[in-house]
Chains A and B, each alone.
Chain A
Amino acid sequence: MANTVNAEELHAERPRAKPSGSRTAAWRQALSVLVIPVLALISALILSAFFILASDVSVLSAYAAFFSNPVHALALSWTVIADSYRALFVGALGDPGQIVAAIQLYITTGQTQPLILAFYPFTESLVTSTPYIFAGLAVAVGFKCNLFNIGAEGQIFIGAIVAAFVGYSFTGLPWIVHMPLTFIAGAAGGAIWGGIPGWLKAKTGAHEVINTMMMNYVAFRLADYLLNGPMKRGGPTGFIPISRDIEPSAYFPQFFPAPIRLHMGFIVALLVAAAVYWFLWKTTLGFEIRTVGANARAAQYAGVSVTRNYIVAMALSGALAAMAGAGEVMGVNHNLANAFSPGYGFDSIALALLGGSHPVGVVLAALLFGTLRNGATKMQSLAGIPIDIISVVQAFVIMFVAAPAIIRWIYRLRSEGGVQVVFTRGWGG
C-alpha cells in the first residue's frame, strides 16, 4: 500500500502563531476551500436535473416535437426543474416569504404558531442531520486510522437497541442520571460492536471490511430477533415488531413546541464533533491513531502500538456510530422499530469522504446531507419527484469533491496546487 508519510497532513491542522495581517489571507483561503464544494453542489444539481427531465413523459414528448416548437420544450423543462428545486429548497430551509410574514406577525401580534410552522422545515433538516453527524464522524475516525468501517449501520442498530433497552427498563431514575446513562450505554454497546472487528484486525489481521460487514448482518438479525421476541411491545403476541416506549426520563428533550422535533441530540452531536477534533489533534492517543493511519510501519518503528490503536480507533468509531442510533431513539422515535434508519450508516461513508474525514468537514457535510434528504421529502410530496434523486445528487457531489480536477476543468479555475488529502488507501492493508 501507499507508505508515504504525509507529514504535512499530520501537522497541517496544528494552529501556528501566524504573522499579523494574515487574517484576511486566512479568510480568503477559507473561502477558496469552499469554492469547490459549492460548485460541486451546483453542478450536481444541474446534472441531476437531466435525469428529472429524462424521466418526465410530458417533457420527453415536448422534445419529440422540438423542431416544431422548441420554445415550448425549453419552457416546459424550465418549469419542471424550477418547480422541483423550489420544492427542495422550501422543504429543506422553509419558504422565505412565509418566514418573513411569520416574523412580522410575531412582532406585531406576538403570535408564535406561524413562526414555528415557518421554521419547521429548517429545524427538521437539523433533526435529520443529527444522526449523520455522529455516523459521519464514526467513519471519519476509521479513515484517520486507515480503517474502513462499513459497519456503521450495524453499530447504529446496536446503539439504538441498547439505548432503547436501558431507556425503558430503568424506571424512576431522575433525568440527569437516566438520560446520560442511556446515551453512554448505547455508545458503549457500539464500542464493543466496533471494537470486535478492530480486535480481530489487530490480533489476527482479519480484514475489517469483511468483519464490519458481517457484524452488520449479525446486528440486523439480532434486531429482528429482539423486536420479534424479548423486546416486542406487548410480548411475543404483540402485533408489530416495535419496542416499548422509553421512559421520558431518558429523552433528549426537544427545544420547541410541537411539531418542531429539534432535540438536544443536535447539540450533543456538535459537542461530540468538537471532542473528536480535540481527541484526534490534541491528544497523544489521537496523534498515534493518525500516525498509524498515515503509515503503520513508521508508527511501529517509532514505538507506537499498531494493534492497540486499531482497537481504540474501531471502538471509538463504533461508539460514535452507535450514538447516532441512541440519539434517534432518545430524541425522535422514543422507541425502537426495525426501519428506524433509512441507511444513515451507509450514507455516512460518502459523507465522511465529502467532509475530508475532518470533524468540521463532517459536520458541514452532514448538514448538507440532512438538508438535502429533508428537502427531498418535500420535493416528493409537492413536485412528485421521488426522494431518491437526492442520492444521484449526492453521488455527483462526492465525485466532484473527490476529483476537483473535473470542477476546475468545467469552470476553468486555476489549480490551487494544494496538497491532495488522502482519504483511504485501497483496502486499508
Chain B
Amino acid sequence: MAVMSRIGEKVAPLSRQRALGIFYAVVGFLILILFSRDVQAGDLATLGLNTPRSIEWVKLPDLVLPVLPTVWVLGLITIGLGSYQALRGFQKTGWLLGVVSLAFLSTFLVWAARAGSFSLIGILSASLQLATPILLGALSGVLCERAGVVNIAIEGMMLGAAFTSVLVANVTGDIMLGLAAALATGALLAAWHAVMAIEFKMDQIISGTVINIFATGLTNFLNQRVMQVYQNLNNEMTFPYISQVFPDLAKIPIVGPLLFDQTPIVWLALILLVVIQVALFRTRWGLRTRAVGEHPRAADTLGINVFRVRYTNVILGGMVAGLGGAYFTLGSVGRFDKQMTNGRGFIALAAMIFGNWTPVGSFASSLIFGFTDALQVKLQILIGKVNIPSEFLLMLPYIVTMVVLAGVVGRVMMPAADGQPYKKQ
C-alpha cells in the first residue's frame, strides 16, 4: 500500500476537491431537472411515519411536503454547497457527501410520492433489514482481513450456511439447531479457507474462489438433487419477529417499526457490530489481530502466535458470515432457494473496503446498499409514477459508490499484510 499511496500523491488534493464540488453541483441540477418533471404546482407528498401497529399508541402526523418547493429548496442547497466546495473548498467533506446524498434521496422520495403517500418508515425499516446480511458479511471480512487473510469467500460461506440452516432446521424441527448449523457451516468453510491460505500458503484470492465455486456448485447440486425431490426438507422455518414476541415494542412510534419489527438476526448483527468495533480497537485481542494484519513478523517477535491468531479470526469470521447466511433463510424467507445470496457476499466485500476495514464504516456503507435494495422492492409499488426507467434508478447507487470512492475515499488503507501468507523464519 505504501507503494500505491506514493504514486497517488501525483494527484493534487485540490483538484479532486474541485471535481467533487462540480459533481455535487451537477447532482443539484439533476435534482431540479429530474424531480420537477410531471409535478403539478401545489402537489403534496405524504410520507408516512406510522405502521398499522405503531398507530395503536400514538398516531404521528404524516410528513406532508409540497413537492415543488421541496425540490427547489433541496436542489438549490445542493448546488450552493457544490459550488462553494468547487470554488473555496470545505475543510472536511465527509458530512458534505452525507448531506448531498440525503438531499438527493429525500427529493426522490418526495417526488415519487407526489400527489400520493409513501411509507417513509417502511422503507427505512426495510433498509435496515436488507443491510443486515451485507453488514454481517462485511464484519466477517473485517475479522479476517484485519488479521491479514483476504476473504472473498463470504458469498460462498453465506450460501452454504443458508443451505444447511434450512436443512438442519427441517430435519431436527429445531430452528436453533438450524442457526447452529449455519454457524458451523461458516466455520467449517472458513477453516478450509484457513488451511489452504495459512497452512498451504495458497494465494488467498484463489482459495476464496475455491470456496465460492464449491459452495455455489454444491448447494445448487444438492438443492436440485435433494430438496426438490424431498420437498418437506425445505419447509418454511423462520425466527419470529421481535414484535411477535413483544407486541408492545412495535407500538413505540418510529423506533418500534424500525428496530422491533425485525428478525432477531438484525439485533445480533447490531450487537456484533458494537462488539467487534470495541474489541478490535480497545482490547488486547484486537491489538494482536491488528498487529498480525499489519506486520506479522514484528508480532511474532513479540511472542504473538501469528498462525493461531489468523486461524481464530478466519474461523470467527466464517461464523459471522454463517450468521449472515442464516439471515437469508431463517431470518427472512425461511426456505432455501438456488443462489439466494445473489452476490450479497461480494457487495459485503465492497462495503468492507468502502468502510475502510472498520466495523462502523462497513455499517454505514451497508446501510447505503440496504437502502438501494429496499428502494428496489418499494419501487414496484410506485411503478407508473416513476417514469424514469427504474433500471436507471437502480444503477444509481452503484454509480454513486464509484464516484464517491474516486472522490472522497480514494485510496483506502488496507491492513499492510493483507493477503500475504506468513512464513515463520
Contact A214 B213 (CB under 8 A): no
Q: Which residues of B contact A403 (CB under 8 A)?
A: 196, 200, 202, 207
Contact B213 A395 (CB under 8 A): yes
CB distance from B195 to the nearest CB of A (A): 10
In the complex with contacts A204-B407, A206-B402, A55-B221 CB distance below 8 A? yes
Contact B349 A402 (CB under 8 A): no
Q: Does A221 contact B (CB under 8 A)?
A: yes
Contact B202 A402 (CB under 8 A): yes
Within the complex, which residue of B6, B11, B224, B395 is in contact with A388, where a contact is CB–CB below 8 Å? B224
Q: Does B316 contact A (CB under 8 A)?
A: no
Mask, A395-406, CB within 8 Å of B = 1, is 110110011011
Contact A399 B207 (CB under 8 A): yes
Q: Which residues of B contact A349 (CB under 8 A)?
A: 209
Q: Which residues of A contact B385 (CB under 8 A)?
A: none
A392 to B216, CA, bound (A): 8
Mask, B212-231, CB within 8 Å of A = 1, is 01101110111011100000
Interface segment, A98-106, A222-230, A274-282? A222-230
A190 to B74, CA, bound (A): 37
Contact A353 B217 (CB under 8 A): no
Within the complex, which residue of B203, B205, B221, B395 is in contact with A51, where a contact is CB–CB below 8 Å? B221
What is the interface of chain B mostly: helix, strand, loop, or mixed? helix
Q: Which residues of A contact B224 (CB under 8 A)?
A: 386, 388
Contact B221 A386 (CB under 8 A): yes
Q: Does B4 contact A (CB under 8 A)?
A: yes
Contact B196 A222 (CB under 8 A): no
A300 to B6, CA, bound (A): 10
CB distance from A151 to the nearest CB of B (A): 11
Q: Which residues of B contact A425 (CB under 8 A)?
A: 419-420
In the complex with contacts A205-B8, A424-B203, A51-B218 CB distance below 8 A? yes
Contact B419 A296 (CB under 8 A): no
Q: Which residues of B contact A392 (CB under 8 A)?
A: 213-214, 217-218, 221
A389 to B224, CA, bound (A): 11
The 4 closest A-B pairs by CB, nearest first: A426-B419, A391-B217, A388-B220, A395-B214
Closest to B421 in A: A2
A211 to B220, CA, bound (A): 28
Closest to A214 in B: B398
Contact A207 B405 (CB under 8 A): yes
Contact B402 A200 (CB under 8 A): yes
Q: Does B406 contact A (CB under 8 A)?
A: yes
Q: Which residues of A contact B225 (CB under 8 A)?
A: 55, 385-386
Contact A205 B353 (CB under 8 A): no
Contact A389 B221 (CB under 8 A): yes
Q: Does A68 contact B (CB under 8 A)?
A: no
**B residues 65-119 touching A (CB-CB < 8 Å):** none
14 more contacts with CB within 8 A, not counting A391-B216, A423-B205, A429-B4, are: A200-B402, A204-B407, A206-B405, A221-B395, A225-B392, A300-B7, A306-B7, A350-B213, A353-B203, A390-B217, A398-B209, A399-B206, A402-B202, A403-B202
Q: Does B394 contact A (CB under 8 A)?
A: yes
**A residues 259-307 touching B (CB-CB < 8 Å):** 295-297, 300, 306-307
Closest to B150 in A: A426
Closest to A148 in B: B205
Interface segment, B46-54, B178-186, B248-256, B409-417? B409-417
Contact B395 A218 (CB under 8 A): yes
Q: Which residues of B contact A399 (CB under 8 A)?
A: 196, 202, 206-207, 210
CB distance from B186 to the nearest CB of A (A): 17
Q: Does A78 contact B (CB under 8 A)?
A: no
In the complex with contacts A3-B3, A388-B221, A403-B196, A210-B213 CB distance below 8 A? no
Contact A1 B419 (CB under 8 A): yes
Q: Does A203 contact B (CB under 8 A)?
A: yes
Contact A388 B353 (CB under 8 A): no
Q: Which residues of B contact A209 (CB under 8 A)?
A: 349-350, 353
Mask, A363-407, CB within 8 Å of B = 1, is 000000000000000000000011011111011101100110110
